[in-house]
Chain A
Amino acid sequence: MGSLRLSNVSKRFGKVVALKNMSLEISDGEYVVVLGPTGAGKTTLLKIIAGLLKQDTGEIYIDGVKVDDYPPEERNVSLFFQNFALFPHMTILENVAFGLKVRGYDSREAENRALEALRLMHLDNRAYSYPRELSGGMQQRVALARTIITGASILLLDEPLSQLDAKIKSELQYELRDFVKNLGLTALHVTNDVEEALALADRIAIINRGEVVQVGTPFEMVEEPKDVFVAGFMTDMNLMEGIVEEVSTNSVIVDIGNIKLRSSRKGSFRRGEMVIVGVKSKDFKVQKADGELVCRIEDSIFSFKYRKLIVCFDNGLRVQVKTDKSGLEKGAYVSLRVDPNDVYLFPCPKGGLRAAIAEITGVS
């Protein structure tokens, strides 16, 4: 059993607000990924749940029991540390078996289980090495194995795949999910990598500046982002500032510096209101130049099966377009089409688009 509930948890470090009234509910056996830029409060969240930090206000319930006064070892959680925290004086096997041993397992049984977890991480042949003899990626996998098999039913994973080579990571993430699911564990996994979140999560929670912005399934997060921040974080959407020119019953026309786009997505906007328009690069369709939405191809970048075109309109607006059409040369003029259903509109945040993008990329 391992359900987890946070109710209005807040935490400050001096003047810095790390968490602000955070509420989150995770049911038994669920895999939830918390996604957010550096400094969003992700690590603090995990440390509070693990009992290594104390929240200022709010409560934490594990399996319906309030655990605010429980020390870490009695909370039934297991934390993966971002910097691994492998015990330097123990072998890999001893490290992985540590949790089981201190929880009273027979040492032979503990080591057998540890070996099994190491096998999953493709590291069973390094069981008797010491942490310092392993590369960063390997150490990370050892730490992951150690976290998973402690016998705790809730896993708290702090960027557990960040040090891995892209190639290893792209496969290991699916295996990790299967392993956690097969053991029936609950996981709260923190990362800033969107692909990782999509590959792993039952639900994704996006947080920013210590607050939950949106929670939903991967599909909901990508297809129905609530605001510019979520859209910019989850997708490669082209984001543009525009002004609502016309509002009718089921569509809105927006003017982006003389480029008009029609959106038929839900949302209430007033005429003359400043909005942010979002179009995913795959939703632009490239056609022969025919007078509408004409632009010039500035660069054409290889993108696996596709090409990513960087196109520039007369008014200086630059967007990215993903296409599988070939023979589109640099410098050529083309026209773009987009289905009104694929044109997202978001209320303009304070500080405009620039501030929103700065927030997404963590630049301040």
Chain B
Amino acid sequence: MQNIWKILRITILASTFLTFTILVLFPTIFLASFPLIYIDDIRYEVFENPLIGSENLRLIIEVLTFSFKLSASTVLVDILLGIPLAFILARGNFPGKLLLETLVTLPLVMPTSGFGFASLLTWTTVSGVGKWFGLSRGILSITSNLPFIDVPIIIFIVHVSLTLPYIVRTVQAKLVEVDIVYEDASRTLGATSLTTFRKILMPELLPAIFSGSVLAFARSLGETGATIIVAGVRLTAAVAVVKWEFEFKLGAAAFLGLILVLITWLIILPAELFLTSAKGGIVKPPSLISGTIVERALIKLEAKFSKRIFKNILHGVCVALLLVLVIVPIVVVVESVFSYMFKDPYTGKTEGSVIYQLFGPANYLPIMLRSTAVSFASAFTSTYISVFLSIPLVYIIDRYRVGRILRALLKVPLVIPSSALGLSVLLFWGPKFLGLLTPSIWLIILTQIVFSVPVIVETTMAVYEGSNIKLYEDAAKTLGANPYHVVEKISLPILKEGIITGAILSFTHSLGETGAAMIVMGADIPISVLVVNMVESLAIPAALFTSAYLIIISTIMIVVFRIVSGRRRI
């Protein structure tokens, strides 16, 4: 009997590993071959162009600097806003907490291009918030910049909303894990709540804040869908990759993509090292001011601001900002669909109405339906395949030594800019290397598998590690269960939550992903890219309708998800 189980197990694990290597691993690490394949193009386009010299290099440096300023300021605000929000969610107990939690998560599952368009509409046009204040324009101009760092406010706002969940979720998860008894102990020893936060919680939270920031930074650096819509004339690095690929400046695109990937790695790797070395042990931050007069003054100051009223104000401001950033665009876009339904509310022309654009000569409806079909078919297929690939992978990661490396590699598709990832997949399967596929829905599916597998593995792994599943499996074994019973009756039911969470996340992610899709889609345009195309061809009412439609779908998804996951984590 034992031998049969052994053979079965080895067969499953080996075939999984093989599939994983071909579908996920190779396309991911294929990035490294950029400079080899494109070496001539790169030299020609970037460094020694006979016409413009190193103009492209100058451009590359410019977009990179801009992206950096943007991402860094985004992360800074994320931290300031995210920590209080994480606190409210982890320690608070109030009606509507579930709603707030859903709200924080919403930008994660919302198609970014749709959300980008909604934000653009809300802040920079007359149909948005401007109207509510009786202005004849938006409250922001698309060119209004943040002082000092020269970053357009609208891009900044969108990036903050889209990356905030990463900080909130990681810090919240850590806070839930930290036993409240330490705070209690500190309070009974005479520390006020702010002093307690600084001296007791901060050391515990630092790694979480750090890893959340890294994720948010990487996400901001690679964001394409929303940025391409709100950026106007400004180019971020990730958007530049897509644009140049369209302009057949493949060498420059590949070079920039490689630099982006390298930068991401330079940030992620030390972070990973820092975090894994701190795990198990304890992070002991050096306390520079401990016991000095400065600290005494600080403690007195903290005592003043520990009053409940200040805490309430801070929490109120954070929640209000979140509402403004996330809810207002949704409300505006849905409302605009209605006001644009039959005619343009400002010019009165029927040509500017939603109905006209969908059913009139432009005939966007069939295009939209086809795009919807492409999106759902690809998202469903890739998620389906990824689920079957991920479950055995979780076991491989846990049981075998190679697992740790696998897990680190799996972080790559999660953090690198999706446009670079798309480029890599295209290079691997496409004419430049294997020559098996040209840009089409099949390539979309293959791309989506590359980033879906890590999502599902991560969520399943979280449940796997959090639920002590090995203990349950051991218990089942000593109760007489054979390996089949163990998997069917114990492992899968316990992991179910993580698998479903991962599947839904990867499904919505696939549905909303824009950057990679733009590169690999060919003629099969998914719905998220369609929004971008509509905006670029100034078919605003159609874009409105499609955005609203996308946002509603993703909201329904998150509600379904909440019901399925039984109000626990996301």
Q: A89-B494, A102-B485 are in contact. Are A152 and B475 (CB under 8 A)?
A: no
B471: A residues at CB distance < 8 A: 81, 83, 85
Q: Is A215 an interface residue (CB 8 A)?
A: no
Q: B489 CB to closest chain A CB, in angstroms?
A: 7
Q: A102-B480, A103-B480, A150-B479 are in contact. Are A52 and B474 (CB under 8 A)?
A: yes
**A75, A77, A81: the one within 8 Å of B475 (CB):** A81
Q: Is B65 an interface residue (CB 8 A)?
A: no
Q: Is B570 an interface residue (CB 8 A)?
A: no
Q: A88-B467, A89-B494, A102-B485 are in contact. Are A73 and B480 (CB under 8 A)?
A: yes
The answer to whether A88 and B494 have CB atoms under 8 Å apart is yes
Q: Is A327 an interface residue (CB 8 A)?
A: no
Q: Is B88 an interface residue (CB 8 A)?
A: no
Q: Is B557 an interface residue (CB 8 A)?
A: no
B467: A residues at CB distance < 8 A: 88
The answer to whether A102 and B493 have CB atoms under 8 Å apart is no
A156 to B490, CA, bound (A): 21
**B477, B490, B493: the one within 8 Å of A52 (CB):** B477
> Whose C-beta in chain B lies nearest to the C-beta of A83?
B471
B469-519 contacts to A (CB < 8 Å): 471-472, 474-482, 485, 489-490, 493-494, 496
> Whose C-beta in chain B lies nearest to the C-beta of A98?
B479
The answer to whether A79 and B480 have CB atoms under 8 Å apart is no
A102 to B490, CA, bound (A): 12
The answer to whether B477 and A72 have CB atoms under 8 Å apart is yes
B493: A residues at CB distance < 8 A: 89
> Whose C-beta in chain B lies nearest to the C-beta of A52?
B474
A75 to B489, CA, bound (A): 20
Q: A342 CB to closest chain B CB, in angstroms?
A: 45
Q: A184 CB to closest chain B CB, in angstroms?
A: 18
Q: What are 21 A-B contacts with C-beta separation under 8 Å?
A: A51-B477, A51-B478, A52-B477, A73-B482, A77-B478, A78-B479, A79-B478, A81-B475, A85-B472, A85-B475, A87-B490, A88-B467, A88-B472, A89-B493, A89-B494, A102-B476, A102-B479, A103-B480, A147-B479, A151-B480, A152-B480
Q: A81-B471, A85-B472, A102-B485 are in contact. Are A73 and B477 (CB under 8 A)?
A: yes
Q: A77-B478, A85-B472, A85-B475 are in contact. Are A102 and B2 (CB under 8 A)?
A: no
> Whose C-beta in chain B lies nearest to the C-beta of A103?
B480
Q: B491 CB to closest chain A CB, in angstroms?
A: 11
B481: A residues at CB distance < 8 A: 73, 98-99, 102
A147: B residues at CB distance < 8 A: 479
Q: What residues of chain A have their CB less than 8 Å away from a CB belonging to chain B? A: 50-52, 71-73, 75, 77-79, 81, 83, 85, 87-89, 98-99, 102-103, 146-147, 150-152, 156
A73 to B474, CA, bound (A): 9
A83 to B481, CA, bound (A): 19
Q: What residues of chain B have their CB less than 8 Å away from a CB belonging to chain A? A: 2, 467-468, 471-472, 474-482, 485, 489-490, 493-494, 496
A146 to B480, CA, bound (A): 12
Q: B394 CB to closest chain A CB, in angstroms?
A: 17
Q: A260 CB to closest chain B CB, in angstroms?
A: 50
A146: B residues at CB distance < 8 A: 479
The answer to whether A73 and B489 have CB atoms under 8 Å apart is no
Q: A78-B479, A98-B479, A103-B480 are in contact. Are A72 and B474 (CB under 8 A)?
A: yes
Further contacts, 13 of them, CB under 8 A, given A85-B468, A88-B467: A52-B478, A71-B2, A73-B477, A73-B478, A73-B480, A78-B478, A85-B472, A85-B475, A89-B494, A98-B489, A103-B480, A150-B478, A156-B478
The answer to whether A87 and B472 have CB atoms under 8 Å apart is yes
The answer to whether B478 and A98 have CB atoms under 8 Å apart is no
Q: B325 CB to closest chain A CB, in angstroms?
A: 36
> Whose C-beta in chain B lies nearest to the C-beta of A156?
B478
A87 to B485, CA, bound (A): 13
A87 to B493, CA, bound (A): 10
> Whose C-beta in chain B lies nearest to the C-beta of A94?
B489
Q: Which of A83, A98, A102 has most B Cβ within 10 Å?
A: A102
> Whose C-beta in chain B lies nearest to the C-beta of A78?
B478
Q: A73 CB to closest chain B CB, in angstroms?
A: 5
The answer to whether A102 and B494 have CB atoms under 8 Å apart is no
Q: A98 CB to closest chain B CB, in angstroms?
A: 6
B479: A residues at CB distance < 8 A: 73, 78, 98-99, 102, 146-147, 150
A103 to B479, CA, bound (A): 8
Q: Which of A75, A89, A156 has most B Cβ within 10 Å?
A: A89
B496: A residues at CB distance < 8 A: 89
A75 to B480, CA, bound (A): 8
A51 to B482, CA, bound (A): 13
A50: B residues at CB distance < 8 A: 474, 478
A151: B residues at CB distance < 8 A: 480
Q: Which of B468, B474, B475, B481 has most A Cβ within 10 Å?
A: B475
B475: A residues at CB distance < 8 A: 79, 81, 85, 87
The answer to whether A150 and B477 have CB atoms under 8 Å apart is no
A87: B residues at CB distance < 8 A: 472, 475-476, 490, 494
Q: Which of B467, B480, B481, B485 has most A Cβ within 10 Å?
A: B480
A79 to B480, CA, bound (A): 10
A85: B residues at CB distance < 8 A: 468, 471-472, 474-475
A99 to B478, CA, bound (A): 8
A78 to B474, CA, bound (A): 11
A52 to B475, CA, bound (A): 9
> Whose C-beta in chain A lies nearest to the C-beta of B475?
A85
A78 to B477, CA, bound (A): 9
A83 to B493, CA, bound (A): 20
The answer to whether A102 and B478 have CB atoms under 8 Å apart is no
Q: B477 CB to closest chain A CB, in angstroms?
A: 4
A75 to B493, CA, bound (A): 26
A147 to B480, CA, bound (A): 11
